[in-house]
Structure 1
């Protein structure tokens, strides 16, 4: 099975590349700029059609949540028109598309975990573009799986876990927002789920799914767990001070509640997300081995 992933440097792309290595019969490749530019439809169509993959994973996106408020045209060009072009190109060669989306498509004001059929209501430009992107993908390719996820972290690139460990090198106490709730999701686990779905796609399984880490928490308690694991393994740690979202105003409103229910993916594809605490320990230990052990 040939899998083509859009993007080359993101957390999910790098996790997919790592996880696919040991899967027999799976050939995964990633393509990004300049060959494939989501703001250039022709490059998207040409790159995907010429590669002739069996499955396309649409992972590349405009993800700068705050900057999107000032660059709505670019965000829409990438997350809507670009996503549509990826799905269209997959349809042209008869391939299904697995498109990554986000908890930001919801308003974030419901304390219950969101299920796939819940009403969307994005409050940010980024969320609006991802919501419109979902619709565009569905219209461009009936053989689609749209995967919404949240709070992604990994041993790669910039993410919350790496940021916390970096800050703890120089600070004894770190203020972290405690009134936003969600499901921390390891990109490594997300990659495992995507590969499992790609290998088991069949008629009647297309549609929207949620795939996020099991269990939920707030950002402050997430940070506390990161530091507890790091301290146990000789890495940097700090005290966490709970603060309210209102104390850290941002251009884009963060959802207070973005819990996602992943039951549907478990029932249909057999995907069983690991608990966020377990997955966090795996990632922290890898980061410590790479960059942070003994404060180095």
Structure 2
């Protein structure tokens, strides 16, 4: 990172202004969508909104000049760092129903243990951008270690849970719920930009980017927030609703299945429904008074390859 800690100029100014504009515009839209869809009695929804609002200020410091530039940058960075720490708490709340008690406790305890680092980072940020000392040179490369491991674990855990407990293939899941597909894609993109951000901080891109200026952490953060905003509820609630919807569509006979594996699953469900129908018919003969019958429609299995 360059020793010049003032307001960037030239290409650096263009890149930083673009990154801040993208971040604050994205957060503003996501905050509006969250506010429109949130339920006030659910704490998780409130925390997601707070995560977005806390980070917005750090997308505006490019408008100021010295000496206000360094002060305003440092103050808005406090809200950003709190937002990063809050994101890991939100990820824990969303993933907690799938975790054992032991794993859940380790997860949240280690998240809390990372907070002292963010206090040091707030101090280092202030002293660096106000030309007091260069501790920020030491603390900045450590950011991914204290910010991202929990998010990487949450992403891997969710993909594994979908495959193990819900039996959805990724193509099936995207067909049934494009919204969930967007969330999974955002998770992958956020991790990709975490890797690029780490490489940038370690000077892998020192010859191709203006010194001290890189937008990759902003892109990673935007996709993290998008994951929280696209689906506000915890993962189990969202997946249970999705599975219930999928089963209802199967029962209605109008389900579109993307893979042969999904077709085999639907056929098994059809056989189970036939058994229930048969048992229901046997029991109806023992009923007195009026006849009690249940009708079940057998799903019409449609493979995507059959559609032209």
TM-score range, shorter chain: under 0.3
* Greater fraction strand: 1
> Which structure has the larger Rg?
2
